[in-house]
Amino acid sequence: MRLGSGRQWSAARALGRLAVGPLAGLGWTLAHLPLGWALWVGRRLGDLAYCVLLGRRAAARENLLRAFGGERPRRELRRICRESFRHLGMTFVEACTLFFRPPAVMLSRVEVEGADHLKAAVAQGRGVLLLTAHFGNWELLAAANVQTGYPLSVVARPLDSPVLDRLVARFREGGGVEVIPKRRALRRVLEALRRGSMVGILLDQNASRREGVFVPFFGDLASTSKSLAVLAFSSGAPVVPVFIHRESHGRHRVVVEPAIPPPSTGDREQDILAFTEAFSNIVEARIRQWPEQWLWIHRRWKTRPAML
């Protein structure tokens, strides 16, 4: 059994290495297309993914029905679904530009709004926890931090391919961002906060029953990681929502919101639940503004509450 597992792992690593060359060549080519062409190709890649990735398309449609089924007609939900795939295609092409060309090429298309909120949070001297999501071009959001002048660490789940994971991590760290693997991240996150760093956490994906608490999300209970609330109470670091959204003509806007006041009832479990619900509400509000720019293909409501 161990031998078989080892062979499978070696095969996966070998396939990952074989994929790096062609992917790098494709990425370099996409990165050097003129902006208009690049975005057009990105949208077509999204169309292709919409047609080919039937399981992901079904998951996106199911999520959209759960979120907006009582509010919007089916035709509108189908449009949002298709546009969300196109958004992901454009995000992929922009990520290639970010990785294979000087950062200034993409950063020149980004404006930052609300930087004073970040400055006020940093001034507290406890580090800063950034609440964000798989929304807009989240890779560009991390890279755009260079415009703030503050150190940044991000908590990320490793990619399934170790080779590709190392490649992406190298690109991220080349932009001055420290990558903290999600598994057993607590110690490194607390160390980063003690150094006065900002730590970004994406809080919009399904959490296991052990790691999460159930809070409302689009009117339905969703298992949401309690890690951000726990870190905030343990460290005293303020939690600042930061999101990026796509605008017209290939431009992007980063919006920094005021720090979220922590609840203080004296009941730690209830405070963690209330804080996590506040985070979820903020993420939902941002998605409602630009639903085409969220990662609908993720099974957000996978973990369900226990039956009473």
pTM above 0.85, yes or no: yes
Q: Where are the beta strands (DSSP E) in the chain?
A: 110-113, 128-132, 152-156, 177-181, 198-202, 212-217, 220-225, 239-246, 252-256
User: Confidence band (pLDDT; 50, 70, 90) for 25?
Assistant: confident
- pLDDT of residue 43 exceeding 50, the answer is yes
Q: Mean pLDDT over residues 221-229, rounded?
A: 97
Summarize pLDDT for 259-292 with one digit per residue, the tens: 999 999 889 999 999 999 999 999 999 999 999 9
- pLDDT of residue 83 exceeding 70, the answer is yes
Summarize pLDDT for 141-171 with one digit per residue, the tens: 999 988 888 999 998 877 666 666 676 666 6
* Strand partners for 202: 132
- Position 162 scores a pLDDT of 67
Name the 3-class secondary structure at 1. Answer: coil
**What is the percentage of the chain residues whose pLDDT exceeds 70?**
86
Summarize pLDDT for 166-198 with one digit per residue, the tens: 766 666 666 678 888 887 788 999 999 999 999
- pLDDT of residue 26 exceeding 60, the answer is yes
- Position 81 scores a pLDDT of 98
- Position 160 scores a pLDDT of 60
- Position 63 scores a pLDDT of 98
What is the residue whose two structure tokens read 């807009």? 136
What is the residue whose two structure tokens read 């949401």? 224
User: Confidence band (pLDDT; 50, 70, 90) for 18?
Assistant: very low
For the chain, the residue count is 308
User: Confidence band (pLDDT; 50, 70, 90) for 221?
Assistant: very high
How far, in Å, CA of 278 to CA of 262, rounded? Answer: 9
Whole-number Cα distances in Å, 125 to 119, 129, 191: 11, 12, 13
- Position 222 scores a pLDDT of 97
How crowded is residue 218: how many other Cβ atoms within 10 Å of its Cβ?
18
- Position 27 scores a pLDDT of 85
- Position 165 scores a pLDDT of 63
- Position 175 scores a pLDDT of 66
- Position 268 scores a pLDDT of 95
- The amino acid occupying position 14 is A
For residue 62, give both structure tokens.
Answer: 């199911």
